[in-house]
Structure 1
Amino acid sequence: DMKIVSNNIFEKSKGNALTSENFADFIRKNEINEFYITGADAIACVKSTVFNMCRENFKVTVISDGITSYDKRKIDEMLKYYEKNGCKIITMNELLNSE
């Protein structure tokens, strides 16, 4: 059901997106340093990716209504964790209205 808009598709086998060598090479070669994060597991993959991207000094923004988790009660806690680690939190409407 996903609309493919690019041939730049990267697979990962660990939580942190930066562990995908192809993805890491792509962002390095294209000098990409700003990311908008969404994801299906706020307390695992999203958490690890946000933490590691912030640690690498990327500009990271999480779309708060674009994440979920098997335990939805922990999403607010994760949003605070992301912010504490240097990530900005916005909604999809805020992103769309900022342009």
Structure 2
Amino acid sequence: MKAVIGDTVIAEAPQEDLIKIEGNWYFPPTSVNHELLEKSPTPYHCPWKGDCQYFTVSANGQQYQDRAFSYPNILPGAEKRVGKDFSNYVTFWKEVQFVD
């Protein structure tokens, strides 16, 4: 599966390596092109996952603020709830499309 904006691939991994949480596909950190991501100061805290790290995505000559996010340090119990450690896995939204 790929995460793309236009013709720019931001992340790519076999679907079996991804984790689906609350309808979002999370990509393993090694499958993400981190050169396209810049940490954002936008704060968010999920009561069961922990503190979120947002990223601005650079693609097609544009900046897409807060279109990627991850949970660097998941809370105790989150791994058990999901069935796998998803620390630093990255997911995307809005303009980012998921394609097989």
Q: Which has the larger radius of gyration?
A: 1
Q: What's the TM-score bracket when you normalise by the shorter of the two chains?
A: under 0.3
Q: TM-score, structure 2 length as denominator?
A: 0.24
Q: Which has the higher strand share?
A: 2
| Structure number with higher relative contact order (C-alpha < 8 Å, ≥ 6 residues apart) | 2
